[in-house]
């Protein structure tokens, strides 16, 4: 496979390597919070920000986006996780009680070898890679985040998808005692997202276990989430407990709730406005509220890698 071509960004936006590497070394030497591998806590999530265990991972230059990284404090405190509330700070305020141990992920449906994986086995399934990805949300804001994990295809190959597997569905956890917004009827819980099988097997699609050199914080989808960098953020299910491989397209949560506003594919497309706002520009979180907005890139800048997946499709109709 040819090397992925990542869009060039001005050198002035690149985090100096010495700063990034020195920070990583400090984190590894500090060995912060191995106890964070245990069960959840009643403390708010922000109180655990410096007590999460480190997650050693090797930077993968093939997926190394040369943007200025979004500050870690913004990545961990400005989130969408509606099970904890619709406010951007609700997840960091309320996700501390999410129980992330014990945790199993079951894989079922159109596979030859259905099985369940313990989260610790998933952490050891493949070498951890660190990839810098853009995250683009449908509310017209974006981040640049150093995720740690490996390709989703690595896991799916373990269960041997059958020829009938056309879609991959992700089901997230439901913990009524930990998730105060489950009673708000924002969506029909549990949260469900899905991809076409070729999207799921694409090397850019990533199982994520960590961020900024540490295990994921609860508000970012601990202990495991997916990242699909050419799609809007709501496609990237958090705190996943079940993966189903299906023959027919499943009804995903946002399509079920608001089909006029959210389509199955959710590819970043600045030419298709949301019914209530434009998607043509974006605000980069961490740059300040008075910073100029940036133009939204088709497929979030990953068109060279993924545009061929949609050859012949009308991307205005299949939004």
Q: Between the CA of residue 95 and those of 8, 134, 222, 303, what are the distances in Å?
A: 36, 23, 10, 34
Each residue's pLDDT tens digit, 28-69 = 433 333 333 333 333 444 444 456 899 999 999 989 877 799
- In tens, the pLDDT along 193-214 reads 999 999 999 999 999 999 999 9
pLDDT of residue 51: 64
Distance between CA 101 and CA 120 in Å, rounded? 10
Instruction: Return d(Cα 266, Cα 282) in angstroms, integer.
Output: 16
pLDDT at 40: 38
CA distance 146 to 55: 12
Assign domain 11-310 one CATH number from 3.90.420.10, 1.10.10.10, 3.30.565.10, 3.40.50.720.
3.90.420.10
- Rounded to two decimals, what is the model's pTM? 0.85
Domain boundaries, the chain: 11-310
Evaluate whether 70 touches 144 at the Cβ level (below 8 Å): yes
Q: Cα-atom radius of gyration of the chain, to the nearest Å?
A: 19
Task: Give the chain's length.
Answer: 319
Pairing of strands 129-137, 141-151: antiparallel
Looking at the chain, the whole-number percentage of residues with pLDDT higher than 70 is 84
Looking at residue 14, what is its pLDDT?
40
| Residue 232 C-alpha from the chain's centroid | 10
Q: Residue 231 and residue 35: Cα distance in Å, rounded?
A: 34
Task: Chunk the chain into consecutive blocks of 10 residues (it has 319) and report each block's average pLDDT, rounded to whole numbers.
Answer: 41 40 39 36 44 92 86 97 97 98 98 98 98 95 97 98 98 98 94 98 98 98 98 98 98 97 96 92 91 94 97 95
C-alpha 158: how far from chain center? 21
Q: What is the pLDDT of residue 185?
A: 86
Q: Check residue 43 and give its pLDDT.
A: 41
Beta bridge partners of 260: none
């Amino acid at each position: 496979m040819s090397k992925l071509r990542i869009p060039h960004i001005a050198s002035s936006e690149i985090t100096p390597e010495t700063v990034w590497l020195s920070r990583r070394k400090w984190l590894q030497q500090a060995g912060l919070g191995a106890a964070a591998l245990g069960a959840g806590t009643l403390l708010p999530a922000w109180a655990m920000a410096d007590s999460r265990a480190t997650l050693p991972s090797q930077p993968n230059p093939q997926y190394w986006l040369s943007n200025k990284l979004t500050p870690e404090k913004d990545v961990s405190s400005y989130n969408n996780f509606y099970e904890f509330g619709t406010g951007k700070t609700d997840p960091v305020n309320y996700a501390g009680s999410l129980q992330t141990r014990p945790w199993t992920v079951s894989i079922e449906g159109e596979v030859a070898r259905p099985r369940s994986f313990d989260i610790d086995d998933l952490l050891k399934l493949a070498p951890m890679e660190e990839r810098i990805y853009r995250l683009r949300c449908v509310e017209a804001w974006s981040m640049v985040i150093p995720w740690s994990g490996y390709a989703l295809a690595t896991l799916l190959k373990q269960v041997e998808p059958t020829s009938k597997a056309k879609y991959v569905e992700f089901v997230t956890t439901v913990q009524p005692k930990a998730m105060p917004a489950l009673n708000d009827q924002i969506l029909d819980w549990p949260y469900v997202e899905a991809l076409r099988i070729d999207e799921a097997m694409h090397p850019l699609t990533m199982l994520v276990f960590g961020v900024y050199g540490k295990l994921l914080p609860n508000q970012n989808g601990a202990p495991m989430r997916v990242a699909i960098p050419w799609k809007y953020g709501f496609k990237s299910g958090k705190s996943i407990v079940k993966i189903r491989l299906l023959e027919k397209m499943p009804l995903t949560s946002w399509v079920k709730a608001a089909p006029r506003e959210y389509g199955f594919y959710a590819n970043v497309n600045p030419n298709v406005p949301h019914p209530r706002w434009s998607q043509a520009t974006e605000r980069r979180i961490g740059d300040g509220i008075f910073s100029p907005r940036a133009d939204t890139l088709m497929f979030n800048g990953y068109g060279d890698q993924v545009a061929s997946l949609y050859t012949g499709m009308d991307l205005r109709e299949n939004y």
